[in-house]
A and B are shown apart, each in its own frame.
Chain A
Amino acid sequence: LGAGQSIQKTYDLTRYLEHQLRTLAGTYLNYLGPPFNEPDFNPPRLARAERLPSATVDLDLWRGLTDNARLAANYRAYSRLLKYLRGLDSQVGTVELRHRLGHFCSSLQGLVLSIAGVMSSLGYPLPAGPAGPPPSSGTPAAPNDFLKKMDDFWLLKELQTWLWRSAKDFNRLKKKVPPAVVTLRIEARGF
Chain B
Amino acid sequence: AQRHSQQDSHIQYERVGADVTMKCGSMDWDAAVTWTANGTDIDDSHLNGSYLILKNVDLTQSGQYSCYEGSSWHLKYQTNLRVGVPPKEPVLMCRSNNYPKGFYCSWHLPSPTYIPNSFNISVIHGTREMVCEKDIFPKNRCHIRYLQLFSTVKYKVTLTVTNALGKNSTTLTFDEFAIVKPDPPESVVAKPVPNNPRRLEVSWQNPSSWPDPESFPLKFFLRYRPLILDQWQHVELSDGTSHTITDAYAGKEYIIQVAAKDNDIGTWSDWSVAVHATPWTEEPKHLTTEIQIIGETLTQHKPLALRGPGYGDPSAGGVW
A interface with B by C-beta (< 8 Å): 15, 18, 40, 42, 45, 54-59, 62-63, 154, 157-158, 160-162, 164-165, 167-168, 171-172, 175
Contact pick for B150, options A57, A172, A175, CB 8 Å: A57
Interface string of B10-52 (1 = CB under 8 A from A): 0000000000000000000000000000000000000000000
The majority secondary structure among interface residues of chain B is loop
Is B265 on the interface with A (CB-CB < 8 A)? yes
A167 nearest CB neighbor, chain B only: B264
Is B217 on the interface with A (CB-CB < 8 A)? yes
A59 to B100, Cβ gap below 8 A? yes
Instruction: Known A40-B173, A45-B126, A168-B215; judge A62-B149 contact (CB<8 A).
Output: yes
Instruction: Tally inter-chain residue pairs, CB-CB below 8 A.
Output: 63
A154 nearest CB neighbor, chain B only: B152
Chain B proximity of A169: nearest CB distance (Å): 10
Among A45, A59, A157, A160, the one with the most B-chain Cβ atoms within 10 Å of its Cβ is: A59
In the bound complex, residues from chain A placing their C-beta under 8 Å from that of B153 are 45, 56
A45 to B152, Cβ gap below 8 A? yes
Interface string of B138-158 (1 = CB under 8 A from A): 000000001111111110100
Chain B, range 118-166, C-beta contacts under 8 Å to A = 126, 146-154, 156
A164 to B265, Cβ gap below 8 A? yes
Is B214 on the interface with A (CB-CB < 8 A)? yes
Is B177 on the interface with A (CB-CB < 8 A)? yes
B153 nearest CB neighbor, chain A only: A45
Among A18, A56, A158, A172, the one with the most B-chain Cβ atoms within 10 Å of its Cβ is: A56
B149 to A42, Cβ gap below 8 A? no
A56 to B151, Cβ gap below 8 A? yes
Is B216 on the interface with A (CB-CB < 8 A)? yes
Contact pick for B152, options A157, A168, A172, CB 8 Å: A157
In the bound complex, residues from chain B placing their C-beta under 8 Å from that of A157 are 152
Chain B proximity of A27: nearest CB distance (Å): 19
Tell me, in angstroms, the Cα distance from A162 to B150 when the chains sit together.
7
A57 to B156, Cβ gap below 8 A? no
In the bound complex, residues from chain A placing their C-beta under 8 Å from that of B154 are 42
B102 nearest CB neighbor, chain A only: A59
Interface string of B154-184 (1 = CB under 8 A from A): 1010000000000000000100010000000
Q: List 17 A-B contacts (CB under 8 A).
A: A15-B264, A42-B154, A56-B151, A56-B153, A57-B149, A57-B150, A58-B149, A59-B149, A62-B149, A154-B152, A158-B152, A161-B151, A165-B149, A167-B265, A168-B216, A168-B264, A172-B215
Tell me, in angstroms, the Cα distance from A54 to B100 when the chains sit together.
18
Is B80 on the interface with A (CB-CB < 8 A)? no
Chain A proximity of B312: nearest CB distance (Å): 56
In the bound complex, residues from chain B placing their C-beta under 8 Å from that of A56 are 148-153
Interface string of B188-227 (1 = CB under 8 A from A): 0000000000000000000000000011110000000000
Contact pick for B217, options A63, A161, A162, A171, CB 8 Å: A171
Tell me, in angstroms, the Cα distance from A58 to B150 when the chains sit together.
9
Is B263 on the interface with A (CB-CB < 8 A)? yes
A59 to B146, Cβ gap below 8 A? yes
A175 to B214, Cβ gap below 8 A? yes
In the bound complex, residues from chain A placing their C-beta under 8 Å from that of B173 are 40, 42
Tell me, in angstroms, the Cα distance from A164 to B173 when the chains sit together.
19
Among A54, A164, A175, the one with the most B-chain Cβ atoms within 10 Å of its Cβ is: A164
Chain B, range 218-264, C-beta contacts under 8 Å to A = 263-264
B148 to A57, Cβ gap below 8 A? yes
Tell me, in angstroms, the Cα distance from A64 to B210 when the chains sit together.
20
B147 to A164, Cβ gap below 8 A? no
B264 to A18, Cβ gap below 8 A? yes
In the bound complex, residues from chain A placing their C-beta under 8 Å from that of B151 are 55-56, 161
In the bound complex, residues from chain A placing their C-beta under 8 Å from that of B150 are 55-57, 62, 161-162, 164-165
Chain A proximity of B150: nearest CB distance (Å): 4
In the complex, given contacts A56-B151, A58-B149, what are 9 additional A-B residue pairs having Cβ atoms less than 8 angstroms apart? A42-B156, A56-B152, A59-B146, A59-B147, A161-B177, A164-B150, A165-B150, A167-B264, A167-B265
A-B pairs, top 7 by smallest CB distance, nearest first, are A167-B264, A55-B150, A165-B150, A56-B151, A42-B154, A157-B152, A161-B152
In the bound complex, residues from chain B placing their C-beta under 8 Å from that of A167 are 263-265
Instruction: Known A15-B264, A164-B265, A167-B264; judge A63-B152 contact (CB<8 A).
Output: no
A164 to B177, Cβ gap below 8 A? yes
Tell me, in angstroms, the Cα distance from A164 to B265 when the chains sit together.
7
Tell me, in angstroms, the Cα distance from A56 to B214 when the chains sit together.
20
B147 to A58, Cβ gap below 8 A? yes
B127 nearest CB neighbor, chain A only: A44
A15 nearest CB neighbor, chain B only: B264
Among A58, A161, A165, A167, the one with the most B-chain Cβ atoms within 10 Å of its Cβ is: A161
